[in-house]
Structure 1
């Protein structure tokens, strides 16, 4: 049983020693056990031979599923013999639109294609520029390039990690067609200021909300604020279904075009070909399966409660580390009313750890 003062003494150790010993372990080839003998501190970091902060066997495995309910839905699809897009996909789309308060939802086979389809059907093409933060997953930029447009990087706010609205207008040119804010790590961008700039310059806004399901700005779900919002249901995401993605929008005509485009350009609603109502448009095939939708419906049953836990955990962890010199936790914009915290973030300042490199610091964390 660990001493009840282990947590506080470990933080005290961090403040006093600044993990200087870790640098010796990693750069001089010393083993943790050799150095540990020189430290008279039961709360020394695990990389120096101390006990780990947490039993790794107790970490929650992801994704989470409940056999009694989740497997039942998948088996129903299997036994139906209808495995391509059909009624279960329609149900998943309606559910995700309803959860977010959006008029329409289209689910596709991954978040990357959700971004590609959305940009394509806003007529983003060669010669256009799209403003995007450099701190994002590669898919955000690939979606712009796949449509022939040019990504123009707008630096982030170092405290919130989001695209900095104060730097956007300086990057706008006559070729700028859209702004693509990324709600990175599950935290929201400053959407009120971004929308104000977009309206002023007549620009589209496509939200990359792949890491931020249920995150809110002024009590409105991200992904429903701009012209379109894109989500990912990849295995590591907050709604894991293996692979999957979604587009949300309140623009019916735009969504009709997206549905048509992702289904080989076949006519849908107001989206019809040039010659007549039955003619085919340019399109591709990125449809989702009934299996994925069945898993998605099951995962949605847990999402709200899991998001609440994520928020509580993030607030607790922030309160515990905010006073450690060299550790600067995330900052939220005042407009953030709910945060899904796909990941917990902080900045590391090596000057407060006697120059210990970022990689060495990460090694020490992983050892815990």
Structure 2
């Protein structure tokens, strides 16, 4: 096979949902029922999800960003407050702070795990700090014990962004049961999908009640909370909330998908193992590092390029893989590089380790509906793009 010959006729994206007939049938049931939204299936999905991650409560939202916004509200973040997070994440992890009038403070990452570094968090704490939003980057949990210890010392709330980490564990505890609040995302490229959707898990009843009310305009029908009560029809809007409700259609899909989450995670782990074995002797590539105390659920497979060994630069390598119909990506552009954040006054140079990482990473395709043949196509394409021959 010639070095530049394409091995794929069809484009392989970096992520893709897996919706089967059982999922479709559950959605059809809801479409034929009395409730398309604000019905019983949302509650059933919330209860099933909370049970799956060993949490007391779960509150579903229309998307993961809305869920993060709700968590920031429940945490009491308001104008003038500072919240520490990582720059190596999607913009939503910081945007949710801005929605509440707070200020995102970016702390640098650990060079091995690419997660936020607790030592860097400590450097950024001030009298204005209200919360920490660690992100379980690629599916590997952040250093939660140390982060929670910091939070306890300074009376901070920990909102864990586990958009990548359904099915992950930290020291044999399930992600979703550890932090004050934990957000999961159900975007189609994530482990399970509801089309769009998100959820917050918590063991705190006060946060749970605030989240429920926040996602529905700030309205309550709880008789114990009403100031006035004209009758059984009466409700009250007690603060400015949002319409962030998940529909029963979404919840039906999520409830069905949740039954397969272990299967999906195990397939991701299998494909990661194939990648790691194929790349372990490639000097040009640094494969992901996983700590013994964590079990990643592998939302993303990110390779770091060893610049000193490369015959091509990252851009050229990226373009070569795209030409082979391999849907590579880069996760992520540091949040404060984005023009909106630059306009807010953030400057490059804030987090040197994160910036160096961004310059040298490529995300390879990883999703459960891949086949071993798909994985092999990616491996062979990377070897050719690096001007290497694989036996």
- What TM-score does the superposition give when structure 1 sets the normalisation length? 0.81
For residues 323 and 360 of structure 1, do their structure 2 counterparts lie closer, same or farther at Cα, with a shift above 3 Å needed?
same
Supply the distance in 1 between the matched residues of 2:310 and 2:14 (Cα, whole angstroms).
30
The unaligned stretches of length 5 or more in structure 2 are: 325-380, 382-391
1:179 to 2:132 alignment: yes
Q: 1:149 aligns with which of 74, 90, 102?
A: 102
- The residue aligned with 1:286 is 244
- The residue aligned with 2:282 is 324
Larger radius of gyration: 1
Supply the distance in 1 between the matched residues of 2:277 and 2:51 (Cα, whole angstroms).
34
The total of aligned residue pairs comes to 319
Higher alpha-carbon deviation: 271-280 or 240-249:
271-280
1:301 to 2:301 alignment: no
- The residue aligned with 2:272 is 314
Q: 2:144 aligns with which of 172, 191, 194?
A: 191
Q: What SS is found at the alignment partner of 1:297?
A: helix
Supply the distance in 2 between the matched residues of 1:58 and 1:243 (Cα, whole angstroms).
22
Supply the distance in 2 between the matched residues of 1:57 and 1:169 (Cα, whole angstroms).
44
Higher alpha-carbon deviation: 97-106 or 182-191:
182-191
- The residue aligned with 1:26 is none
Supply the distance in 1 between the matched residues of 2:36 and 2:5 (Cα, whole angstroms).
52
1:350 to 2:302 alignment: no
1:80 to 2:45 alignment: no
Q: Decide whether the 8 Å contact of 2:15 with 2:189 is kept in 1.
A: no
Higher alpha-carbon deviation: 129-138 or 338-347:
338-347
Q: Decide whether the 8 Å contact of 1:211 with 1:342 is kept in 2.
A: yes
For residues 90 and 359 of structure 1, do their structure 2 counterparts lie closer, same or farther at Cα, with a shift above 3 Å needed?
same
Larger RCO (CA under 8 A, 6+ residues apart): 2
Q: Decide whether the 8 Å contact of 1:129 with 1:178 is kept in 2.
A: yes
Greater share of residues in helix: 1
For residues 270 and 316 of structure 1, do their structure 2 counterparts lie closer, same or farther at Cα, with a shift above 3 Å needed?
farther
For residues 124 and 329 of structure 1, do their structure 2 counterparts lie closer, same or farther at Cα, with a shift above 3 Å needed?
same
Q: Show CA shifts across 1:93-113 (max 9, x none).
A: 011001000000000100000
- The residue aligned with 1:106 is 59
- The residue aligned with 2:19 is 65
Please list, as runs of the form range in 1=range in 2, the aligned pairs for 1:1-368 lying within 5 A after superposition: 42=1, 44=3, 49-52=4-7, 56=10, 62-67=16-21, 69-267=22-220, 272=225, 279-282=236-239, 283-336=241-294, 338-354=295-311, 356-366=312-322, 367=324, 368=381
Shift of the alpha carbon at 1:266?
Answer: 2.1
Shift of the alpha carbon at 1:269?
Answer: 5.9
Q: What SS is found at the alignment partner of 2:188?
A: coil
- What TM-score does the superposition give when structure 2 sets the normalisation length? 0.77
The unaligned stretches of length 5 or more in structure 1 are: 1-41
